[in-house]
Amino acid sequence: MLDTKGYPNRLGLRGWVGGGRWGLERYLYTLHRLTGLGLLVYFLLHIIVTSARAFGAAAWDASMARVTGPVFVAGEYLVFAAFVFHAANGVRLALVELGWAIGRPIEPVYPYRTSVDEQRPLAVGVLIVAALLAVVGGLDFFVLH
Amino acid sequence: MNAPARVTFRIRRFDPVRQSPPSWEDFEIPAVAGMTVLDGLRTIKETLAPTLAWRSSCRMGVCGSCGMFINGHPRLACNTQIAELGSGPVTVAPLPNFDTIRDLVPDLRPMFDKHAALSPYIIRDDHDEMYEPTGEYGQTPEELEEFLQFTYCIKCGCCMAACPTCATDPVYSGPMPLGQAHRYNADSRDGGFTTRKTALAGDQGPWRCHYAGECSRACPKGVDPARAIQLMKRQLVFDYLRLYSQPCPAGVVTPAPASARRPDVPEAPAPTVDVSRARTSPSC
Ligand code: SF4
Ligand code: SF4
Ligand code: FES
């Protein structure tokens, strides 16, 4: 049997942003992963910051004083926007992964229409909902408060 | 007479003996109407670079050998006309997410190993009937449609090269093997869901797929592995919740009673090979 030493050719992280057909769902996939990681980092920081409460009211006040100001408001808004996208897209993924909105198997006749085209209205709808919630949240973060 | 239009091919080359990193080489050849990327590679090999290596066979999108990374997309070289790639050089690299054996030849063995690990064949208990059939297993057209789309797969690996999960996760089985596992899970003649379920449970299984859908967009045969994988997840979730149990595999149908032959249908021609020899024991 052939046994040569091949040259590694895995795309790595580049494969998250390109390499296929550059479809919308690839970017939703990548954004879902990035926002998921972002939310995880936020939760860890959140636990560290709020754990100051265990050391008394003074430590809590000092801890809170360190996370105020426009930079933190903007950061919190980004966390909110990431959450809104992650949640809305998560609903789409849960539906799709349970076999809804992707259509039944069909005879492949060129030009092919795939399950991705079938669920596209759902993807667009989810993006619109996420955008609306992000705008409403933005008003609350930056205008009303 | 006008000189024929010319086209430049930028080809990624790798020599396994030297093991130096792959490098790009340009070749300019005459462009002919209707020329495919595979035709271009043949012209280059015949006239400019006899050592250029790639894999191809059927020239018509059937054998699945010629998957390549053409202008940044996984495609079949025989199925891609250079005219559809627009102006500018045609860049050709080996399929990513597989090691490169030489020039444009990807090492597809990991994909085939993952495919084999998911038992991509009919699994049943009635071995006697399977090896010495007395009739056909009955299947309605509706039952056939549940998996027919997935049978068109030619194992070219284009989907694996497009999948972002395959790009960072060497353990994940990938769209071709998973799609083919569902092709059998969805076949009403099959009884192997429980067997495959075990192999699908780990990190190699469908839960690493997050529906980027690139596999289905890249597939040159319209197989839609992303659809197969989501339908498989549905089956697995319903099975976990005890809401699904695989129906008994289809049984043998009694052949229709012999009817009179229509006079306008000619007899089948006589066999052109000696069938009796083909039936002798495999040891001789
Ligand atoms: S699913 Fe499509 S792209 Fe993937 S191996 Fe089969 S034919 Fe090729
Ligand atoms: S749908 Fe799943 S298998 Fe297909 S490209 Fe996306 S992650 Fe990969
Ligand atoms: S040469 Fe057979 S698929 Fe291209």
Which ligand ends up closest to the CA of B64?
A: 3
| Co-location of B158 and B228 in the same domain | yes
Tell me how many domains chain A contains: 1
- Shortest distance, CA B147 to any CA of chain A (angstroms): 7
| ipTM of this complex prediction, to 2 decimal places | 0.89
> Would A5 be classed as within a structural domain?
no
> Would B262 be classed as within a structural domain?
no
| Co-location of B170 and B220 in the same domain | yes
> Would A1 be classed as within a structural domain?
no
Domain boundary among B91, B106, B121: B106
Domain boundary among B81, B106, B131: B106
Q: Kindly provide the b/e burial profile for residues B247-279, where b requires at least 16 CB atoms within 10 angstroms of the residue's own CB.
A: eebbeeeeeeeeeeeeeeeeeeeeeeeeeeeee
Query: Which residues of chain B carry a pLDDT beneath 70?
Result: 1-4, 274-284
A114 contact residues in B (CB cutoff 8 A): 213, 216-217, 219, 222, 224, 226-227
Tokens of B35: 């020329």
**What residues contact B6, with CB distance under 8 A and at least 6 apart?**
B28, B29, B30, B31
For residue A13, what are the β-bridge partners? Answer: none
For residue B94, what are the β-bridge partners? Answer: B68
Domain at B221, CATH number: 1.10.1060.10
| Co-location of B171 and B185 in the same domain | yes
| Co-location of B131 and B189 in the same domain | yes
Work out whether the CA dihedral B53, B54, B60, B65 comes out positive or negative.
positive
- Domain containing residue B18: 6-106
Q: How far apart are CA B224 and CA B202, in angstroms?
A: 23
> Would B268 be classed as within a structural domain?
no
| Co-location of B125 and B220 in the same domain | yes
> Would B176 be classed as within a structural domain?
yes
pLDDT recorded at residue B283: 44
**A27-40 pLDDT tens trace:** 999 999 999 999 99
A95 contact residues in B (CB cutoff 8 A): none
| Co-location of B128 and B87 in the same domain | no
> Would A3 be classed as within a structural domain?
no
pLDDT higher than 70, residue A129: yes
The pLDDT > 70 percentage for chain B reads 95
> Would A135 be classed as within a structural domain?
yes
Number of residues in chain B: 284
Q: Kindly report the average pLDDT of chain A as a whole number.
A: 91
Which ligand ends up closest to the CA of B59?
A: 3
> Would A54 be classed as within a structural domain?
yes
pLDDT recorded at residue B4: 66
| Co-location of B195 and B209 in the same domain | yes
**A57-104 pLDDT tens trace:** 999 999 888 888 889 889 999 999 999 999 999 999 999 999 999 999
> Would B267 be classed as within a structural domain?
no
pLDDT recorded at residue B273: 72
B223 Cβ under 8 Å from any chain A Cβ: yes
Domain at B37, CATH number: 3.10.20.30
pLDDT recorded at residue B206: 97
pLDDT recorded at residue B284: 43
Domain at A112, CATH number: 1.20.1300.10
Q: Do B216 and A114 touch (CB under 8 A)?
A: yes
B205 contact residues in A (CB cutoff 8 A): none
Q: In angstroms, how far is CA B101 from the centroid of its own chain?
A: 19
> Would B157 be classed as within a structural domain?
yes
Tell me how many domains chain B contains: 2
> Would B21 be classed as within a structural domain?
yes
| Co-location of B83 and B117 in the same domain | no
- Domain containing residue A54: 23-143
| Co-location of B23 and B86 in the same domain | yes
| Co-location of B81 and B120 in the same domain | no
Distance B154 CA to ligand 3 centre (A): 9
pLDDT recorded at residue B275: 57
By C-alpha distance, which of A45, A39, A88 is closest to A66? A45
**B30-63 pLDDT tens trace:** 999 999 999 999 999 999 999 999 999 999 999 9
> Would A15 be classed as within a structural domain?
no
| Co-location of B83 and B130 in the same domain | no
B11 lines ligand 2 (CB under 6 A): no
